[in-house]
Structures are given as structure tokens and as C-alpha cells.
Amino acid sequence: MRVTIHAFTSSDDWQRPLGAAFYYFLVNVNGRPHDPAVLTTDSADHRVGEVIVLGDGSRVRVQAIEQPADDESAGRGLDGVLVVEPDAHH
């Protein structure tokens, strides 16, 4: 059995329907948007050091996880920011 805990990022106390997507903005370690710049996933459970395979087949390693900087970003459905670097161990 898998239990998923959702962290709310805005003041609105709402629930996502089952099967909903989570959206993360990807930036590289120098603060520039990664290409691709958005990760869509069915899980909110990411951790530093995790390797993610992106839609284009490239692999990145998570260096840091940040919450949306403001309510406007959260209001647009952004669940967080993942600071990533290419996975050199591929």
C-alpha cells in the first residue's frame, strides 16, 4: 500500500482528484530554466539526490527542492521548483 501526503502550497484548502498531475519548474544550478523547463508527474514525492528521467529521455539529478516563491505561482498550479543538474552517472 502506498500513502501519498500532499502539501498545500496556497491558502486555499483543496484536494486534487485521484490521478491528478503535479507541476514542477526545473532550473539548473546557476538559476537558469532547464530545457525542458517543466516537469509533470503523478507524484509529489521528490527528494534531493533523486534521478528523474524527463520526457525527452534525458536524466537529471535533483540538487534542491524549493516551494513556489509566491501565491501567484502556487495559484497557477505550480507545486514547487526543482534545482537540477544533468545526471553524470548515466
CA distances from 51 to 1, 12, 44, 56 (A): 23, 31, 14, 14
The predicted structure's pLDDT at residue 3: 44
Q: Which three cell numbers stand for residue 66?
A: 524549493
Q: In what order do the strands lie in the sheet with 51-53?
A: 33-41, 22-28, 78-86, 59-66, 51-53
Residue located via cell numbers 509533470: 40
Q: What is the pTM of this model?
A: 0.69
pLDDT score at 68 = 67
Q: What tens digit of pLDDT does each residue of 19-70 get? A: 668 899 999 999 999 999 999 988 888 999 999 999 888 999 999 998 766 6
**Is 60 exceeded by the pLDDT of residue 16?**
no
Contact 38, 23 (CB under 8 A): yes
What pLDDT sits at residue 17?
55
Domain ranges (residues) in the chain:
22-86
Give residue 19's region: left, alpha or beta (phi > 0; psi -120 to 50): left
